């Protein structure tokens, strides 16, 4: 059939199973938006306050579901406003397709009004990107974008579409979505070698990351943990994969990980690293990281093998398929002496002391968990509140904790919460934790939550400073607090009312308990401001470049 580019755009989105798209209109994409209007019964478009919010929403949608998030922006500043969101998705291997409009093909390269070379700008932060110069290439390019986003190590893809391509016509033929080629192959001999090493270990440890969540299934990892009786620790990106309360779950590892997890990796004789890249927030001192251990690394991306830490055995492939093949070779074990050591270390883990005279982060987070139950989905911005959430949330879902890890994007949270809420439906509870610093960056997306009546509860830890940077200034810069006290006078309750939502101000745990209980009953979004001390710290902490011997516990 003969269709124009905008019609082809919508048809391919529907082919790919897209039901929701986030974006912001503009001149270069008017044809696309006109066609989306005509097909609003097939695709829901969510209008955000800013293109960056739209990109984070598409990201949050993908993290909550595993499906590809989709965002659409106009040319020039619309396209460049997506850059931070695309980079956030790239660093955390999140499947996303970003569509941008551009000036007509005859105007490309002429510094035309609202022209930007977005293909070149995003080349380092995408798996692949395209500029479509002929309408005949549009459908197959879009199909390739969705395939690439989900294949192998997942990530964002950008498709730039000049305006005349959206108006020109060509013959179009519907196609069934191409089956994503899952990486099911791996070196079977190496799998057998890994199983032999694991079976002979006295002090084994599993250290896993976000790649496990992206794999075909998380269950084989849980099966390995329990069959082999191996304690497990995880990175920020993998919180919730092994449920909170599992006796073999040691908690998070790394700079703000628990003492036991960091001590265990230091004392283990075998470390099985699965879907993780030994980032500088985990292997803070690569020369001493797990130096007593034989290190086995399992990752889908061969470029990550041995990149940051020297390893002894590598297996490239999808972690789920590799572990399924390995499990029959694994001998059941319990490692009683090793677990006794770990239990002794756990008595030294950091536990914050409650102070009835003030509101404290661990109290707030504990109360949220108690009132929400195990099915809630938690989203964070970036900063101290993010680490407190990772430390104190009681997750029970593998996709129940959504945060920006690799890029550490302040302002990520509200857009991501909107995307997660749209993906999961209004009956699913989404709670966002933020700090006053992060929240000021993209709080404009409150209008989006109000417009769509999304019941997102936002918990704002307000210490009136840029807390994480100030903590570093306290510990390492002689308390020279350069530009970490913004002296802001924001009244969150009044501001919430101005946006059309309900705001609460809390200074005690009792006030928070009542406010959160009421927020759970409301149809639309709410904010709950929690006033905390500006000197509240994230502990424990291992300084950059340090190891377990440098850990700060008080």
CATH assignment of the domain containing 407:
3.40.50.970
The arithmetic mean of pLDDT across residues 381-394, rounded, is 97
- Looking at the chain, the whole-number percentage of residues with pLDDT higher than 90 is 94
CA atoms within 13 A on the CB side of 248: 23
Residue 392 to residue 365: CA distance in whole angstroms:
6
545 in any annotated domain: no
pLDDT-derived band of residue 305, with 50, 70 and 90 as boundaries? very high
Clarify whether 188 is annotated catalytic.
no
Cβ neighbours of residue 159 under 8 Å, at least 6 residues apart? 97, 98, 99, 100, 129, 130, 132, 141, 142, 145
Residue 75 DSSP one-character state: S
Mean pLDDT across the chain, nearest whole number? Answer: 96
Cβ–Cβ under 8 Å, residues 290 and 268:
yes
Amino acid 135: pLDDT = 98
Amino acid 196: pLDDT = 98
Q: Answer yes or no: do 342 and 365 share one domain.
A: no
Amino acid 30: pLDDT = 98
Residue 28 to residue 478: CA distance in whole angstroms:
51
What are the structure tokens assigned to 58, written together? 């598409």
Candidate list 114, 346, 428, 513, residue with the active-site label:
114
Cβ–Cβ under 8 Å, residues 545 and 537:
no
546 in any annotated domain: no
Q: Answer yes or no: do 341 and 230 share one domain.
A: yes
Residue 300 to residue 365: CA distance in whole angstroms:
34
Amino acid 180: pLDDT = 79
Domain boundary at 287, 316, 346, which? Answer: 346
Alpha carbon distance, N-terminus to C-terminus of the chain: 69
551 in any annotated domain: no
Instruction: Report the alpha-carbon angle 411-412-415, nearest 5.
Output: 105
Q: Answer yes or no: do 134 and 13 share one domain.
A: yes
Amino acid 206: pLDDT = 98
pLDDT-derived band of residue 317, with 50, 70 and 90 as boundaries? very high
Whether the upstream peptide bond of residue 53 has omega within 30° of 0, thus cis, is: no
Q: Answer yes or no: do 96 and 235 share one domain.
A: no
146 in any annotated domain: yes
Instruction: Summarize pLDDT for 236-253 with one digit per residue, the tens.
Output: 999 999 999 899 999 999
3-state DSSP of 495-552: HHHHHCCEEEEECCHHHHHHHHHHHCCCCCCEEEEEECCCCCCCCCECCCCCCHHHCE
Amino acid 374: pLDDT = 86
Q: Answer yes or no: do 484 and 416 share one domain.
A: yes
Instruction: Summarize pLDDT for 174-204 with one digit per residue, the tens.
Output: 999 888 777 788 999 999 999 999 999 999 9
- Measured between alpha carbons, how far is residue 217 from residues 214, 296, 394, 423 in Å? 8, 20, 21, 20
Clarify whether 51 is annotated catalytic.
yes
Which residues does residue 162 pair with via DSSP β-bridges, in sequence order? 102
Residue 480 to residue 286: CA distance in whole angstroms:
30
- Measured between alpha carbons, how far is residue 366 from residues 103, 292, 361, 468 in Å? 51, 36, 8, 21
Q: Kindly report which listed range (215-219, 258-262, 454-458, 523-527) carries the lowest average pLDDT score.
A: 215-219
User: Is the pLDDT score of 216 beyond 90?
Assistant: no
67 in any annotated domain: yes
542 in any annotated domain: no
The arithmetic mean of pLDDT across residues 6-13, rounded, is 98
Q: Answer yes or no: do 24 and 167 share one domain.
A: yes
Candidate list 127, 154, 163, 537, residue with the active-site label:
163
Q: Answer yes or no: do 383 and 419 share one domain.
A: yes
Q: Answer yes or no: do 146 and 82 share one domain.
A: yes
Among candidate residues 60, 48, 61, 52, the one with its CA nearest the CA of residue 17: 61
Candidate list 172, 468, 499, 537, residue with the active-site label:
468
Amino acid 274: pLDDT = 98
Q: Answer yes or no: do 91 and 131 share one domain.
A: yes
Q: Answer yes or no: do 210 and 335 share one domain.
A: yes
Q: Answer yes or no: do 136 and 210 share one domain.
A: no
User: Is the pLDDT score of 68 beyond 90?
Assistant: yes
Q: Supply the CATH number for residue 227's domain.
A: 3.40.50.1220
pLDDT-derived band of residue 327, with 50, 70 and 90 as boundaries? very high
Residue 19 to residue 42: CA distance in whole angstroms:
7
243 in any annotated domain: yes
Other Cβ atoms within 10 Å of 164 Cβ, number: 18
Phi and psi dihedrals of 433, rounded to 5? -105, 135
Which residues does residue 270 pair with via DSSP β-bridges, in sequence order? 204, 294
User: Is the pLDDT score of 172 beyond 90?
Assistant: yes
Clarify whether 468 is annotated catalytic.
yes
pLDDT-derived band of residue 90, with 50, 70 and 90 as boundaries? very high
Among candidate residues 397, 470, 410, 457, the one with its CA nearest the CA of residue 431: 457
Domain boundary at 346, 381, 396, which? Answer: 346
Among candidate residues 371, 416, 415, 365, the one with its CA nearest the CA of residue 393: 365
Instruction: Summarize pLDDT for 392-405 with one digit per residue, the tens.
Output: 999 878 899 999 99
Full domain range(s) for residue 286 = 188-346
Considering its fold, how many domains does the chain have in total? 3
Amino acid 248: pLDDT = 97
User: Is the pLDDT score of 291 beyond 90?
Assistant: yes
Q: Answer yes or no: do 257 and 339 share one domain.
A: yes
Amino acid 369: pLDDT = 96
Residue 180 DSSP one-character state: P
Phi and psi dihedrals of 119, rounded to 5? -60, -45
183 in any annotated domain: no
The arithmetic mean of pLDDT across residues 90-96, rounded, is 98
Candidate list 7, 9, 35, 51, residue with the active-site label:
51
Cβ neighbours of residue 127 under 8 Å, at least 6 residues apart? 90, 148, 149, 153, 155, 156, 157
């Amino acid at each position: 059939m003969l269709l124009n580019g905008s019609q082809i755009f919508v048809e391919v989105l529907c082919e790919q199973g897209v039901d929701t798209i986030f974006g912001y209109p503009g001149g270069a994409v008017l044809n696309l938006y006109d066609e989306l209007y005509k097909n609003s019964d097939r695709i829901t478009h969510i209008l955000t306050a800013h293109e960056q919010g739209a990109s984070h929403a598409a990201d949050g949608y993908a993290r909550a579901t595993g499906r590809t998030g989709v965002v659409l922006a106009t040319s020039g500043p619309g396209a460049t406003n997506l850059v931070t969101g695309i980079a956030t998705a790239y660093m955390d291997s999140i499947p996303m397709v970003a569509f941008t409009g551009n000036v007509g093909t005859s105007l490309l390269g002429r510094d035309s009004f609202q022209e930007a070379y977005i293909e070149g700008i995003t080349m380092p932060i995408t798996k692949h990107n395209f500029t479509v110069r002929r309408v005949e290439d549009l459908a197959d390019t879009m199909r390739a974008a969705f395939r690439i986003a989900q294949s192998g190590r997942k990530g964002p893809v950008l498709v730039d579409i000049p305006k005349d391509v959206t108006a020109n016509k060509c013959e179009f033929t519907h196609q069934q979505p191409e089956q994503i080629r899952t990486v099911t192959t791996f070196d079977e001999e190496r799998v057998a070698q890994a199983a032999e090493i694991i079976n002979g270990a006295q002090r084994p440890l599993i250290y896993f990351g976000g790649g496990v969540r992206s794999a075909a299934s998380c269950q084989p990892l849980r099966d390995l943990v329990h069959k082999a009786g191996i304690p497990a620790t995880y990175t920020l990106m993998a919180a919730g994969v092994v449920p909170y309360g599992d006796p073999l779950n040691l908690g998070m590892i790394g700079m703000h990980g628990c003492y036991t997890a960091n001590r265990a990796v230091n004392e283990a004789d075998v470390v099985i690293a699965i879907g993780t890249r030994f980032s500088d927030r985990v292997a803070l001192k690569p020369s001493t990281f797990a130096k007593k251990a034989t290190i086995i690394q399992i990752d889908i991306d061969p470029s990550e093998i041995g990149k940051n830490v020297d390893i002894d055995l590598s297996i490239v492939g999808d972690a789920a398929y590799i572990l399924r093949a390995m499990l029959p070779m694994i001998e059941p074990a319990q490692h009683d002496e090793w677990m006794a050591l770990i239990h002794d270390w756990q008595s030294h883990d950091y536990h914050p002391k409650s102070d009835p005279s003030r509101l404290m982060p661990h109290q707030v987070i504990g109360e949220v968990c108690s009132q929400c139950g195990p099915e809630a989905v938690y989203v964070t911005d970036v900063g101290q509140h993010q680490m407190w959430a990772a430390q104190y949330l009681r997750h029970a879902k593998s996709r129940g904790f959504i945060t920006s890890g690799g890029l550490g994007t302040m302002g990520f949270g509200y857009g991501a919460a909107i995307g997660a809420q749209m993906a999961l439906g209004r009956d699913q509870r989404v709670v966002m934790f933020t700090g006053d610093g992060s929240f000021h960056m993209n709080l404009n997306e409150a209008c989006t939550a109000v417009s769509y009546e999304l019941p997102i509860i936002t918990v704002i830890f307000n210490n009136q400073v840029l807390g994480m940077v100030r903590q570093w200034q306290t510990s390492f810069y002689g308390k020279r607090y350069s530009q970490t006290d913004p002296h802001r006078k924001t009244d969150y309750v009044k501001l919430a009312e101005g946006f059309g939502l309900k705001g609460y101000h809390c200074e005690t745990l009792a006030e928070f308990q009542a406010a959160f209980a009421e927020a759970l009953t409301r149809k639309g979004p709410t904010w709950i401001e929690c006033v905390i001390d500006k000197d509240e710290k994230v502990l424990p902490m291992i300084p950059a470049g340090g190891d377990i011997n440098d850990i700060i516990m008080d």
